[in-house]
Amino acid sequence: MSSSAQIGVTGLAVMGRNLARNFARNGYPVALHNRTVERTRTLVEEFGHEGDFVPAETAKEFVEALERPRRLVIMVKAGDPTDAVIQEFAPLLERGDMIIDGGNAHFADTRRRERELREQGIHFVGAGISGGEEGALHGPSIMPGGSPESYESLGPMLEKIAAKAADGTPCVSHVGPDGAGHFVKMVHNGIEYADMQLIGEAYQLLRDVAGYSPAQIAEIFRTWNTGRLDSYLIEITAEVLSHVDAATGRPFVDIVQDRAEQKGTGRWTVQIALDLGVPVSGIAEAVFARSLSGHIDLRDASRGLAGPKAAPLGEAEAAAFADRVEQALYASKIVSYTQGFHEIAAGSAEYGWDIDLGAVSSLWRGGCIIRAAFLDRIRAAYDARRDLPSLLSDDTFAQEIAAAQDDWREVLIAAVRQGVPTPGFAAALAYYDALRAERLPAALTQGQRDYFGAHTYRRTDREGSFHTLWGGDRSEVSA
């Protein structure tokens, strides 16, 4: 078999198949391989007219079809399946070749794989890919990690198949070494969880407090999508809410069980944030909200618990309340991104990645699930000040939250009075208030820790660590 393919894809489920088609549509000869040969044949039969495909039935044939340096994309399930594919193909590769993992791998696994393959002279690229099956085919957001050398060879190809932002910039760039790409993709998904939760809370408030129907709420979201909340998720929310179930004639949202599932990247975002000591409370509440929705027995047992009586709003009051919800949603969204970028910065410092946060926001402007108009402004904020400690430290965002905060608080008051759960909105406001507070109750917490565990504390008036000898004269000693 001649070495005619510029890139190869193994693992031809929906994402892998569409990614292979994307490469072929952009003029790259693509080698194809799948554990089940029939899937390879089907792809060529159905889409062979889209480009130059080189099907291979065995791992050896697949590798022999690739030109040097070989670029081999793995699109299989994360974890053991990915390791199994690497173990199958690595012995067939040579120094300078590369393996690209386009799945939702845990960044720690990517770091391990990159280290092990580097010792064999093989480049390993952990590439986060966002946009789902449509993005894979028409242009995803791509977040590749790995060596700079690997990006020199692979980058131009990724830039051609990636989504393009409104200004024409490809939504891909080299994120950083080893696991940096998959780390950024993980946090992207965490922000996605928070974004979806906040949108869900806005919907619930508009329905249960303002009294709007799903169709009316769809129109509200369409209006919001013409302004500062312009985003893919707001756009599709309007589509979902306006959809009517053909079988029953009821709003589609009313015939779907209220149990939200998850694949794990949101949990990883929270778990790693805990390890790094980074507060991502909004993301965490989104993860917990999905978990709670699935505890059906617990929810059934609790439906009879006391709560407030509904107090429907009049037409003018409802319209004013909808405006306040828009403010609360926007302010909470800023906080979610603030927390996500804080985690990326902390991960970058911990693992020595030197990630450019402005470049990350640029990657998310097209193709990915959280693509939104205000990412241009986030990029501008970090470009203007790379050491920006928080998005809330940017003058423009700070001014917008200042303008929104009264409505934000009023929405939460209304939610509490009406008994509508808004953990995302509440966590975002609590985070904001904690950051701006002159003093936090952590002083009391540390005093308690010193009392029961001699954990020491620091004073406000002099340097050093201290411990109080609790009981007796309660004298203080230096620790």
| Cα 188 to Cα 334: distance, rounded to the nearest angstrom | 14
| Cα 115 to Cα 146: distance, rounded to the nearest angstrom | 10
Burial class (CB in 10 A: 0-12, 13-18, 19+), 169: middle
| Cα 276 to Cα 271: distance, rounded to the nearest angstrom | 9
Closest CA to 237 of 215, 264, 211: 215
| Cα 57 to Cα 65: distance, rounded to the nearest angstrom | 11
Report the length, in residues, of the chain: 479
Cβ pair 391, 397 in contact under 8 A: yes
The beta-strand segments (E) located in 332-391 are none
Query: Cα dist. 182→76, 187, 246, 270, 290 in Å?
Result: 15, 9, 40, 15, 23
Other Cβ atoms less than 10 A from the Cβ of 479: the count is 13
β partners of residue 9: 32, 73
Q: For 69, phi and psi rounded to 5 degrees?
A: -70, 140
* Amino acid, single-letter form, for residue 270: V
Burial class (CB in 10 A: 0-12, 13-18, 19+), 462: exposed
β partners of residue 411: none
| Cα 220 to Cα 234: distance, rounded to the nearest angstrom | 10
Q: Which residues contact 444 (CB under 8 A, 6 or more apart)?
A: none
Catalytic residues: 185, 192
| Cα 432 to Cα 391: distance, rounded to the nearest angstrom | 11
| Cα 424 to Cα 409: distance, rounded to the nearest angstrom | 13
β partners of residue 128: 143
| Cα 419 to Cα 437: distance, rounded to the nearest angstrom | 27
What H or E segment, with its residue span, contains residue 343?
helix 315-351
